[in-house]
Structure 1
Amino acid sequence: MPETTQIDLGGVWSLDAEGQRPALKITLPGDVHSALQEQGIIPDPYFGKNEAEVQWVAHEDWRLSRSFRLDASDLDGRWYLDLDFVDTVATVRVNGERVLEADNCFRRYRPDVSRFLVAGENTIEVLLHSPVEAGKAVHARQPFEVPWTRNSPIPYGNMLRKPQCHFGWDWNIALAPLGLYGTVKLCKLDPARIEHLTVKQRHLTNGSVELDVVLTLFAVDPCVLPVEFEFDGETVRLDCGANAGETVLHQRFVIEQPRLWWPAGSGKQELYALKVTLPGETVTRQVGLRTIELITDKDEAGSRFAFKVNGREIFCKGANWIPADALFSKTSPEKTEALLRSAVDANMNMIRVWGGGFYEHDGFYDTCDRLGLLVWQDFMFACNLYPSTPEFLDNVAAEVDYQVRRLSHHASIALWCGDNELVGALTWFEVSQKNRDRYLVSYDRLNRTIEAAAKKANPELIWWPSSPSSGYLDFGDAWHADGSGDMHFWSVWHENKSFDHYRTVKPRFCSEFGFQSYTSNLLIRRFADKKDINIASPVMEVHQKNPGGNERIAGTMFRYFRFPNNFHNFVYLSQIQQGLAIKTAVEFWRSLKPHCMGTLIWQLNDTWPVASWASLDHGGNWKAMHYQARRFFAPVSLFAIPSADGKVIDMAMVNDTPHPTEVSAEFFTVSMDGQRSPLTTARGTCRPDAASTLISLPAGSVPEGRLLAWSYSASDGSSGRGHHVNGTYKQLELEPPGLAARTVRRADGSYEITLSSKGLALFVMLEADIGGRFSDNAFDLTAGESQTILFTPAEQGAEAEFTMRDLYSCQAVD
């Protein structure tokens, strides 16, 4: 009979809380809320106003338990539990004996349990303590007040090393969930285990690459064991000595003619397979060979902020990532990959893993490697003040060490950032305003702890102290200062500035900016009863977490549009409005290249169905902005940039390719009945990785009552079109466009929809009553034009019905 060396403890466990009988079930990995919902103990937290009905769950301690068997012959040697993503404060017992006190969701725990195991049946119990009560207890032990963000209605989240958005955010439901979301195994140490496996690259002037494979082993007793390294078809077998504790081994491989890894849109994502084998254990990695630098040279405006990959500066186009769901059990690797693929399909090449969520699972970063998504990785601190006691900082240092060692081998990791908005948070609370020095010193202790631990774990990583930040040890206002570092520009949304205000700043790299819209009509019908389909209903207000958010959406609509004629058209127009806001910013900032070298939209995805800044809804369906993003992030683009006085429209060419690109454009004016009149043509060449003006048009060349439109083609084979309105859309006296649609179901289950227009149809938007993706959306048609759109259902074979909207129909009163 083969020796047992590993027992997977995932699967069905018993679940109970005091007074909760009979015992329930929970499937691990998983979370408590989802288990309770599946068994009818709580309602769906995402529906209606149910959030309030489930608050009690986070105030309870929850006991998870199961049994497993071992033969007497298995008891020899050392056994340990392997646990990660334990959320969060937990006591673990084996056969009634305490083996672990966990208090950090972002660490891996491997306690030795050898002396507690018995032949036959064994029991394991995980007691998950209430995060609210645990946080309260830590808060009471602080030497001075440490306040938490007003974004979180559940208190004390900053006391715990747990995703901060779990306590509620201005886009997230407040649940403070509990669970185990990762590995749950019992393993035998025979005679050593792999603790870490990472790589270091040295790119030589002759074009070859030296790859240093760094293997960290852990053993209880000194031993000699065979180790096999395999990389790109080359295998090296060694007998290696390991000391008690950790032993670090190095194995070098030389790649004479390396195939380089490039970000999406800049080249191929070449990946090499690395495998390391010990007796009873094999670990694999996918390795991308590339160089990466952060350029922060000083210049006349301040200092640059640009990423250089393989010697070429890359304009970063992307979005901020928040957890894929508020509850772990409602996520899946497939859903996560679909969200990331949507980012790449919209011409994005960077994702920022925001600091109020998780360091994501390995599969997330593997997918980013395969897709070519550069990763801006925050450490998990956001919008709060934090403790700086020795106990807290030691816990943070261990967390940072583990995460940096776990993730540093990924080609996609571009930068490690100390936190999100903690410098700004120093000014957000009365106690820190009155005693800023105390809280600044406390913050500095935390930030230096993170930096020191990160650089010790990987001396070669790219470090950035905070986001936003004008630079190292600069504690100034990076929300409004645009000369150096990265910027969070929120004046349009939070300060109610006009969309044109985006053109008053010239960031070097904007890592956050956003504008809200409602989620899709499809999802609203799933969380709201018909009686609650109203902008001001309590249910809709529960599904808006930013104070004043609904008013801001509606108020902005008054500024730019005629008000929509029903609720569903209001939802539609909110998404068009969102896209226009972000389009205004991105197009101007891309036209500043290379002064500005990055725009990361807030945000890519949603954690639950909610009004938010996301471009994808909670089901992963594309909102209008995501379709628009695919156009305004196109590698070769032509944008209309009006002058500050409105008298001139500069047509900016942007070229993100490494080759000179010729752009040919035709310009028209379009009447309100959709008739096009030729205005002029232009042809020009844009240098590689640059932006320049193709032509400047007098705004007066577009007569009143008409809009400017254009189409272009480029020598790289790409093409596009667009329009520009002098003034606001509510000034347009639109006429009925005479839109028609013909739908054909194809043999593969997709739908082919051909739309035609007799007049001017702006922002034509197709909606389906099921999840899926359209090949294009939120586009324009002029008189006599037609366009064929493909719709692919998310579930194969699902039948769909479609609704068509455009700007005229959403506000018509006849």
Structure 2
Amino acid sequence: MPSQSLAGQWTLRQADATDSVPIAIPGDVHSALLAAGRIPDPYHGANERDIQWVGAREWIVERTIEVDAAVLAAPEVALTCACLDTLAEISVNGQVVGSAHNQHRIWRFPVKSALKPGVNRITVRFASVERAAAARAAQLAHPVPYSGNNTIPHLNLVRKAQCHGGWDWGISLMAIGITDDIRLDGYAAARLDYVHTTQSHRPGACDVTVTAELHAPAAGRSELVVELAGKRVAVPAALVVGANSVSATVTIAQPRLWWPNGHGEQPLYDLRVAIADQRVERRIGLRTIELINRPDDVGISMVFRVNGRDIFCKGANWIPSDALPARQEAHWAGLLDSAVSAHMNMIRVWGGGQFEGDAFYRMCDERGLLVWHDLMFACSLYPADPAFLADVRAEVVHQVKRLRDHACIALWCGDNECVGALGWYPESRKSRDRYVIAWDRLNQALGAAVAEADPTRVFWPSSPCSGPGDFSDAWHDDTKGDMHYWDVWHGGKGFDAYRSVRPRFCSEFGYQSFPSLETVRTYCPDEQLNITSPAMEHHQKNAGGNTKINEMFARYFRMPVGFAETLWLSQLQQALAIKIGVEYWRRSMPVCMGTLYWQLNDNWPVASWSSIEYGGRWKQLHHHARRFYQPVIALAVQTEREVELWAVNDGPAPAAARL
């Protein structure tokens, strides 16, 4: 299949202007304006306020190209866009060929009739999400409450990363752009849309069934060829008009199994698939994974079992690595290496962010990092009308099929805290049944989409969640499901409160600290090096956060005497808090079988719950995590009457200890 990348330099201008600046594609509008000197650094001081006009405007991104002869000669040509963020109208040579309205979907527009020999102009016009969200809200029959973390109202009505509108750790920067692959694809017999595998393990062997999904414009014949583990299998394929699915099975004797970090190696097999003049190459890991969610003496277990071994999951929550999409991928390897260095074996891709690019999941495969993957809904209520459900169904089917072959993916979760959100807003408290029905309708649609696209993994309805069909309080019931325990930070309790609960799996808990002095100096002028200064307050997005940090000093320490000492002590205090929780829950095995603290990383320099500052510098918490997450640890715990001595081992082999 002939294909022509459209990556490279395009031009960017406001829709009502003629002057333009260069923009690198894949890339985003803010990064291009920053590079051209049209906006100040949004991360410095309070410059965030001065760049809000960008998200309120319409923008045009365009370029001219000479289409390759092979592409132009193909019977069918599609313009394929892996990520358009978000509301876009696409034209070729002045002819509108399609529109997009969902950041998380792939878009394929037929453009054969619009192309011509010689120079062609590709134009993408982006509308303002901010204005569109307000317009949609005005048309609602009843309100759909949105998260107070957003500074952009009604962002829950648009399928876009929810944290782009700001969060309680994040800048409000309404990213716009073509942020992933964009290309022209020519094809004749069929278009290959997806390739995915299913593994069937038995003693001494693994049967890998490889399935190719194609769209054929006309009936015809082809051949599916699969190469895996030194074997080659060819299967004839009779294609019909429209959707086609063709499969072949390869048996691997004595397979080398993929393990989470700390439990074994991560061997990856090269897979090559060819059909209808198209080829796909990827690397797959062979392993089994189960979620053991059964009644026991405490309540209901929550255990990830990999290759028959119960795994205590140690890790943190992942947010987008930069508020500027053009910078994100450059952070991934360093952040994930840091997770591995701290003995983590799982990260949670949080539902207020985004599905990451392919390279992110390859890196997780290579490092043995399991991924608890939320779908992209967070802290809000959402529509459940047929059009919205159809849109998110297409989104989820695409993303799950795209990612399901990664060994790292452990679980698909419906949302972040949307069950809890049913009790947060006056509208849903007043008319709870209406909003419960809407949440359930959406969640059932998400579960059905996951079951269709990846029947090999569990769909967990929400996080936190007591289990399918259970609407009980997963913030405080520690006998079942996954728990978000926020009584220490948001509730103001002391660190010992972590020892008052034994979650089956704690997927969120955290405590804030300031960044280091080196990082603070990147955004704060020297004359404002004070935690109550305008710049420092602006880089604290959680209401009252700086006060909470300061007040907790009085419980555990003497008050620091200077600014640098305040930053340093805040990080020590944060590390102490998380250490107390993790160590108690690790010695509670097998009742508790996972701790994912909030959060691993930042998307800009800010006071937050992260263990790694924006730019990659480790906070004290991450240094401590390297100790409290190591496979074998010794603990001394002061109780009312005695000191308890514990040795904890969650590694793959027995360990000797002397206390």
Q: TM-score range by the shorter chain?
A: over 0.9
Task: Measure, in 2, the Cα distance between the counterparts of 1:276 and 1:149.
Answer: 44
Which residue of 2 is the match for residue 176 of structure 1?
Answer: 174
Residue 429 of structure 2 is aligned to residue 433 of structure 1? yes
Which residue of 1 is the match for residue 411 of structure 2?
Answer: 415
- How far has the Cα of 1:463 moved from its partner? 1.2
Residue 146 of structure 2 is aligned to residue 148 of structure 1? yes
Which residue of 2 is the match for residue 87 of structure 1?
Answer: 85
Match of 1:496 among 492, 495, 501: 492
Which residue of 2 is the match for residue 591 of structure 1?
Answer: 587
Which residue of 2 is the match for residue 288 of structure 1?
Answer: 285
380-389 vs 647-656, greater mean Cα deviation = 647-656
Aligned length: 658
Match of 1:6 among 3, 8, 33: 3
Residues 75 and 118 in structure 1, CA contact (< 8 A), matched pair in contact too: no
Residue 269 of structure 2 is aligned to residue 275 of structure 1? no
- How far has the Cα of 1:238 moved from its partner? 4.2
Residues 74 and 187 in structure 2, CA contact (< 8 A), matched pair in contact too: no
- How far has the Cα of 1:245 moved from its partner? 1.6
Post-superposition Cα deviations, 1:240-271, rounded to whole Å, max 9, x if no partner, equal 22222221111101111110010000011111
Residue 298 of structure 2 is aligned to residue 301 of structure 1? yes
Residue 457 of structure 2 is aligned to residue 461 of structure 1? yes
- How far has the Cα of 1:280 moved from its partner? 4.6
Which residue of 2 is the match for residue 514 of structure 1?
Answer: 510
Determine which structure has more spread, i.e. the larger CA radius of gyration: 1
228-237 vs 351-360, greater mean Cα deviation = 228-237
- How far has the Cα of 1:19 moved from its partner? 4.3
1:173-572 to 2 correspondence within 5 Å?
173-204=171-202, 206-278=203-275, 280-332=277-329, 334-572=330-568
Post-superposition Cα deviations, 1:268-320, rounded to whole Å, max 9, x if no partner, equal 11111101124553211211111111011101221100011111100000000
- How far has the Cα of 1:564 moved from its partner? 1.0
Post-superposition Cα deviations, 1:311-337, rounded to whole Å, max 9, x if no partner, equal 1100000000000101101222x4201
For residue 650 of structure 1, what is the amino acid of its counterpart? E
1:157-176 to 2 correspondence within 5 Å?
157-176=155-174
Task: Measure, in 2, the Cα distance between the counterparts of 1:555 and 1:68.
Answer: 60
Post-superposition Cα deviations, 1:571-594, rounded to whole Å, max 9, x if no partner, equal 011000000000000000001000
- How far has the Cα of 1:176 moved from its partner? 1.3
Residues 224 and 248 in structure 2, CA contact (< 8 A), matched pair in contact too: no
Aligned residue for 1:293, secondary structure, equals: strand
- Name the CA shift for 1:194/1:313 in 2 (closer, same or farther; >3 Å): same
- How far has the Cα of 1:239 moved from its partner? 4.2
Structure 2 unaligned spans of 5+: none
Task: Measure, in 2, the Cα distance between the counterparts of 1:242 and 1:569.
Answer: 69
Residues 71 and 120 in structure 1, CA contact (< 8 A), matched pair in contact too: no
Aligned residue for 2:522, secondary structure, equals: helix
Task: Measure, in 1, the Cα distance between the counterparts of 2:300 and 2:387.
Answer: 37
Which residue of 2 is the match for residue 726 of structure 1?
Answer: none
Residues 72 and 118 in structure 1, CA contact (< 8 A), matched pair in contact too: no
Task: Measure, in 1, the Cα distance between the counterparts of 2:277 and 2:515.
Answer: 49
- Name the CA shift for 1:576/1:67 in 2 (closer, same or farther; >3 Å): same
The structure richer in strand per residue is: 1
Task: Measure, in 1, the Cα distance between the counterparts of 2:590 and 2:344.
Answer: 18
Residues 233 and 250 in structure 2, CA contact (< 8 A), matched pair in contact too: no
Aligned residue for 1:68, secondary structure, equals: strand
Residues 80 and 187 in structure 1, CA contact (< 8 A), matched pair in contact too: yes
Task: Measure, in 1, the Cα distance between the counterparts of 2:51 and 2:512.
Answer: 27
Task: Measure, in 1, the Cα distance between the counterparts of 2:101 and 2:349.
Answer: 22
TM-score (normalised: structure 1): 0.80
- How far has the Cα of 1:142 moved from its partner? 1.9
For residue 133 of structure 1, what is the amino acid of its counterpart? R
For residue 180 of structure 1, what is the amino acid of its counterpart? I
Match of 2:623 among 627, 651, 661: 627
Residues 320 and 328 in structure 2, CA contact (< 8 A), matched pair in contact too: no
- Name the CA shift for 1:208/1:398 in 2 (closer, same or farther; >3 Å): same
Which residue of 1 is the match for residue 30 of structure 2?
Answer: 33
Task: Measure, in 2, the Cα distance between the counterparts of 1:449 and 1:140.
Answer: 25
1:663-678 to 2 correspondence within 5 Å?
663-664=657-658
Task: Measure, in 2, the Cα distance between the counterparts of 1:20 and 1:54.
Answer: 18
Aligned residue for 1:366, secondary structure, equals: helix
Match of 1:638 among 612, 624, 634: 634
Task: Measure, in 2, the Cα distance between the counterparts of 1:280 and 1:95.
Answer: 29
For residue 109 of structure 1, what is the amino acid of its counterpart? W
Residues 228 and 277 in structure 1, CA contact (< 8 A), matched pair in contact too: yes
Task: Measure, in 2, the Cα distance between the counterparts of 1:72 and 1:599.
Answer: 55
Structure 1 unaligned spans of 5+: 665-681, 683-814
Which residue of 2 is the match for residue 612 of structure 1?
Answer: 608
Which residue of 2 is the match for residue 662 of structure 1?
Answer: 656
66-75 vs 262-271, greater mean Cα deviation = 66-75
1:684-695 to 2 correspondence within 5 Å?
none
Task: Measure, in 1, the Cα distance between the counterparts of 2:249 and 2:118.
Answer: 45
Post-superposition Cα deviations, 1:35-71, rounded to whole Å, max 9, x if no partner, equal 1111011100000110000000000010111111137
Aligned residue for 1:146, secondary structure, equals: coil
Which residue of 2 is the match for residue 651 of structure 1?
Answer: 645
Task: Measure, in 2, the Cα distance between the counterparts of 1:153 and 1:344.
Answer: 34
Match of 2:578 among 582, 591, 596: 582
For residue 616 of structure 1, what is the amino acid of its counterpart? I
Task: Measure, in 2, the Cα distance between the counterparts of 1:72 and 1:53.
Answer: 46
Residues 74 and 188 in structure 2, CA contact (< 8 A), matched pair in contact too: no
Task: Measure, in 2, the Cα distance between the counterparts of 1:104 and 1:32.
Answer: 17
Residues 83 and 107 in structure 2, CA contact (< 8 A), matched pair in contact too: no
Which residue of 2 is the match for residue 125 of structure 1?
Answer: 123
For residue 161 of structure 1, what is the amino acid of its counterpart? R
Aligned residue for 1:500, secondary structure, equals: helix
Which residue of 2 is the match for residue 108 of structure 1?
Answer: 106
Residues 75 and 119 in structure 1, CA contact (< 8 A), matched pair in contact too: no
- Name the CA shift for 1:65/1:635 in 2 (closer, same or farther; >3 Å): same
Residues 222 and 242 in structure 1, CA contact (< 8 A), matched pair in contact too: yes
Residues 257 and 267 in structure 2, CA contact (< 8 A), matched pair in contact too: yes
Aligned residue for 1:661, secondary structure, equals: coil
Residues 274 and 286 in structure 1, CA contact (< 8 A), matched pair in contact too: yes
Post-superposition Cα deviations, 1:160-209, rounded to whole Å, max 9, x if no partner, equal 111000000000000111111111101101322221111101111x2311
Match of 1:57 among 49, 54, 58: 54
Task: Measure, in 1, the Cα distance between the counterparts of 2:219 and 2:499.
Answer: 64
Task: Measure, in 2, the Cα distance between the counterparts of 1:553 and 1:66.
Answer: 50
- How far has the Cα of 1:393 moved from its partner? 0.5
- How far has the Cα of 1:72 moved from its partner? 6.9
Which residue of 2 is the match for residue 807 of structure 1?
Answer: none
Residues 234 and 248 in structure 2, CA contact (< 8 A), matched pair in contact too: no
Task: Measure, in 2, the Cα distance between the counterparts of 1:123 and 1:481.
Answer: 58
- How far has the Cα of 1:94 moved from its partner? 0.9
- How far has the Cα of 1:140 moved from its partner? 2.1
TM-score (normalised: structure 2): 0.98
For residue 116 of structure 2, what is the amino acid of its counterpart? V
Residues 71 and 119 in structure 1, CA contact (< 8 A), matched pair in contact too: no
Aligned residue for 2:173, secondary structure, equals: coil
Aligned residue for 1:526, secondary structure, equals: coil
Aligned residue for 1:630, secondary structure, equals: helix
Post-superposition Cα deviations, 1:470-508, rounded to whole Å, max 9, x if no partner, equal 111111111111000000000000010000010000100
Which residue of 2 is the match for residue 784 of structure 1?
Answer: none
